[in-house]
Amino acid sequence: MKRREFLRQSSAFAGVGMLGLAGCAKRPVTAGSATAPALPFYDRVPELVPIRAHEDRLFRITVCLRPFRAQGPRLEVEKVGDKIVSHNYGHGGSGWSLSWGSAAVAVENAMRASNGDKEIAVIGCGALGLTSAITAQRAGAHVTIYAKERPPEVRSARATGSWTPDSRVALSNVVAPAFGDLWELMARTSWSMYQSYLGMPGNPIEYFDSYQLSDFSPEEAQKRRESQAQGAGRHEFARYASRIRDITAMPQLLPAGSHPFPTKYVRRNTTLMFNVADYSRQLMNDFLIAGGKVERVEFHSPADLAALPQKTIINCPGYGGRALWNDESITPVRGQIAWLIPQENVHYGLGYKNVNIVARRDGIVVQTSLNGEESGWNETDETPNQEEAVTGVHLLQELYSRMEAMQRRGNKMA
C-alpha cells in the first residue's frame, strides 16, 4: 500500500503519465465526453511527456532588456567623422527572428554608402552583430567584431528562443506605412536562412509544436486584448504575421477530446525554435572559421569609433545603443526567463495564463508575463525576480492539477 501511495503522489506533477497525455490513444477522454472527435490519423496529438514543474528544478534566472523603438528598428546610414556607420538595432522582441534579413539590409546599406569597402567593423556580438558579420563575410568583406561581451554574456543570449518576427517590433500608430514591406522582406530572408540550419548537429534550429491554452475563444481573446489596449498606458503593437502565411503553418484549433488539456480552447501551432546556446556557438564558429576576428572593446560614445582602423562600421549594439548613441527613441522592455532542468523527450511549448513555456535542448524556458505584452515596459532593472519565476512554475503546476482532475472525471465516465 505504501508503495502504491508513493507512486500515486509522484505522478501528480512530475509523472503525469497517468493523466492521459498521450493524445493519440484509441479512446482519449475528457471531462465532458466519452470519446474524442476524430482528428485525421496523421494529425493526432502525439504523446506529450510532462514537464517536472518543481521549484527546486529551477537552475537559473536570466533577465534581458529588449530594445524597442516605436518606429521600428534603426536601419539607416550616417557619417561620424570620417566613418560610415550603418545602424542595425532596436528590434524589440524580434531580434533573433529578423536577424538575417536585417543583417542583409545593414550590410547592403554599408556597402553602398562606402562604395564597396571590404574592410568592415561590426559593433556588438549578439544576434544582430553575429549575423551582420557573417553576412558581410559572405559579401567578400574582412570583418572584425568589436564588443564588450560575447555569447553567452550578451543580452540576446537570454532570449526565449522562438520565432516571433513581429513581437514588439513597432507601434502601429507610429511606424511608417512602408515599414510593412521592409519587415516582410526581412522576415522572409531570415526564414529562408534558418532552413539551412535545420538538421545540423546539436539542433541549433528546429521545428516544434506549441499549444496555446485558453478558456476564451480566439474571438473573445482578441476582444479582450483590444479592450485592454484601449486602457491607459496600453500600446497597439504592429502586426504583420498575415503577410507571411504562405511560409508559416496556420494555428489549428483542436476539438475537445482530441487532446489532454483542460481548457475550453486549445490551439496548436508549429513554428521554429532557436536553441540559443548551440546556435550562438554555431554562428561564432562560422564567423571565426571564415577568418573573422573578435576584439573585446567597450565604447562610451560615437567619438570612440575614431580609434578603429576600419572606415565602414555596422552598428549592432542592441539595448546598448540607447546609451552609446544617446538614442532616447529606445524603450527598454524587461524580459525574465526562469530555467527548469531540461528533460529527455520534452520537445513542445505551452501558453497558459500569460506563462510561456518553451522546452529547449539547453533548458525549459518559463517566461511569466502577467500583463501580456505590456509586461516589463520601460523597466531597466535586470535583477532576477525569484517570486516571478516561482509564479510561473506554480501556474504550470496548476495546469497539471487541472489535467489530473479532468482525467479522473474522464476515467469515471469511461
Backbone φ, ψ for residue 15 (5° rounding): -85, -65
Please report which residue ranges of 159-275 form alpha helices under DSSP H: 179-195, 218-229
Distance, in Å, from the CA atom of 123 to the CA atom of 296, rounded to the nearest integer, reads 10
Contacts of 118 (CB under 8 A, 6+ apart): 140, 141, 142
Question: SS3 string of 374-399?
Answer: HCCECCCCCCCCHHHHHHHHHHHHHH
Measured N-to-C along each axis, helices 276-289 and 127-138 cross at an angle, to the nearest 10 degrees, of 30
Among the listed residues 386, 384, 392, 345, the one whose alpha carbon sits nearest the alpha carbon of residue 365: 392
Count Cβ atoms within 10 A of the Cβ of residue 335 and give its class: 0-12 exposed, 13-18 middle, 19 or more buried. buried
Which grid coordinates belong to 296? 573585446
Block residue for cell numbers 567597450: 298
CA distance 187 to 164: 10
Cα 210–Cα 31–Cα 33 angle in degrees, nearest 5: 100
Looking at residue 370, its pLDDT comes to 87
Q: Could you tell me the three cell numbers for 14?
A: 512530475
Give the whole-angstrom CA distance, residue 259 versus residue 293: 50
**Per-residue pLDDT, 93:** 94
- What are the b/e assignments for 300-318, b being 16+ CB within 10 Å? eebeebeebebebbbbbbb
> What is the rounded distance in angstroms from the CA atom of residue 251 to the CA atom of residue 211?
9
Which residues contact residue 127 at a Cβ distance below 8 angstroms, ignoring those fewer than 6 apart? 95, 96, 99, 156, 159
Cα separation, 107 vs 115, whole angstroms? 12
d(CA 191, CA 249): 13
pLDDT, averaged in runs of 10, over the chain (414 residues): 39 40 37 56 90 96 96 97 97 97 98 97 98 98 97 93 95 96 98 96 95 87 65 82 94 92 95 95 97 97 97 97 96 96 94 95 94 92 96 96 87 69
Q: According to the model, what pLDDT value does residue 34 have?
A: 41
DSSP result, 208-237:
EEEEEEESS-HHHHHHHHHHHHTSTT---B
DSSP tag of 307: G
Whole-number pLDDT of residue 21: 52
Q: 299 near 313, Cβ under 8 Å?
A: no
Per-residue three-class SS string for 131-152:
HHHHHHHHCCCEEEEEECCCCC
* Structural contact between residues 333 and 377, judged by C-beta atoms closer than 8 angstroms: yes
DSSP tag of 298: -
**Measured distance CA(135)–CA(129) in Å, rounded:** 10
